[in-house]
Amino acid sequence: MNNSNRLRIAIQKGGRLSKDCQELLKQLGIKLNLREQRLIAHSTNMPIDVLRVRDDDIPGLVMEGVCDLGIVGENVLVEVQAERLRQGIPSEVTKLSKLDFGYCRLALAWPQELGKQDKSWFEGKRIATTYPEILKQYLKREGINASTVMLTGSVEVAPRAGLADAICDLVSTGATLEANGLMQGDTILESNACLIQNKDLQDTDKLALINKLMPRLRGVRQAKE
């Protein structure tokens, strides 16, 4: 548990969500000295510390109560939740809000030269992905017998490298798939960044601070509409 009396928020240190997270914290009126390349940034105007970590670690940090809040892609949240559920360790969080950035979709793709294919093509194939749990749930739902190959990066080169027949990867514009000669198929998950809270948080001061920040968050989201 986070025993500090400062509200601890986990955000991605360096990556696609970092800039938007920093911008959001600023819009919420949280002043941070982010010039420091440190793991923890202390707010200068509120009892808040921001922990900057890899996005994959954010759900676990919030589920374990090491951090009170976290901002993470739903794709990572759903994958970590399924993985932890399988391991029988705490996997619940309170989802406070969907956010207006980090949109992407998890989609299937295969070599373009094979042309259009339907679901039955995947039978017996190997699919490379960073999201094996989400993919397995989809395959089960669709009744497809295919194996998953876990890769944490460069998923899009897996078919060319002979590591897999197809991939299941995050797409936003589709440019990366095209550049790698891949054709996009079904979307299996649509994702945005979201704000999550430890589900057992009881500290009244921290809850009061969150209650103060939430209307501001709603205001920021409405202003964008």
> Interface residues with ligand ATP (CB under 6 A)?
12, 15-17, 54-56, 73, 75-76, 102, 104, 170, 172, 191
Sole binder of Zn ion in the list 20, 56, 64, 186 (CB under 5 A): 56
Three-state SS at 64 = coil
Mark the segment that binds Zn ion (CB under 5 A) among 52-60, 64-72, 110-118, 154-162.
Answer: 52-60
Mark the segment that binds Zn ion (CB under 5 A) among 56-64, 82-90, 97-105, 109-117.
Answer: 56-64
Measured from the CB atom, is 42 or 105 closer to Zn ion? 105
Q: How far is the CB of 200 from ligand ATP (least distance, A)?
A: 25
Mark the segment that binds Zn ion (CB under 5 A) among 55-63, 106-114, 138-146, 210-218.
Answer: 55-63
The span from the CA of 92 to the CA of 202, in Å, is 15
The span from the CA of 16 to the CA of 221, in Å, is 19
Measured from the CB atom, is 7 or 9 closer to Zn ion? 9
Measured from the CB atom, is 57 or 165 closer to Zn ion? 57
Measured from the CB atom, is 54 or 160 closer to ligand ATP? 54
Total Cβ atoms within 10 A of residue 9:
26
The span from the CA of 126 to the CA of 108, in Å, is 12
Name the amino acid, one letter, at 208.
A
Measured from the CB atom, is 168 or 201 closer to ligand ATP? 168
**Residue whose Cβ sits closest to ligand ATP:** 73
The edge-to-edge listing of strands for the beta sheet with 126-129 is 147-150, 126-129, 166-171, 104-111, 182-191
Task: Please report where in the chains the tokens 């089960």 appear, as a residue.
Answer: 140
Measured from the CB atom, is 55 or 169 closer to Zn ion? 55
Total Cβ atoms within 10 A of residue 123:
11
Q: Which two tokens stand for residue 161?
A: 């490298």
Q: How far is the CB of 148 from Zn ion (least distance, A)?
A: 18
Burial class (CB in 10 A: 0-12, 13-18, 19+), 158: buried
Sole binder of Zn ion in the list 10, 30, 53, 55 (CB under 5 A): 55
Residue pair 43/50 in contact (Cβ under 8 Å)? The answer is: yes
From ligand ATP, Zn ion, none, which one binds at residue 17 (CB under 5 to 8 Å depending on kind)? ligand ATP
Which of 137, 178, 173, 134 lies closest to 156, judged by CA? Answer: 178
Does 83 help bind Zn ion (rule: CB under 5 A)?
A: no
Q: What one-character DSSP code corresponds to residue 60?
A: H
Q: How far is the CB of 87 from ligand ATP (least distance, A)?
A: 20
Contacting residues toward Zn ion, per CB under 5 A: 55-56
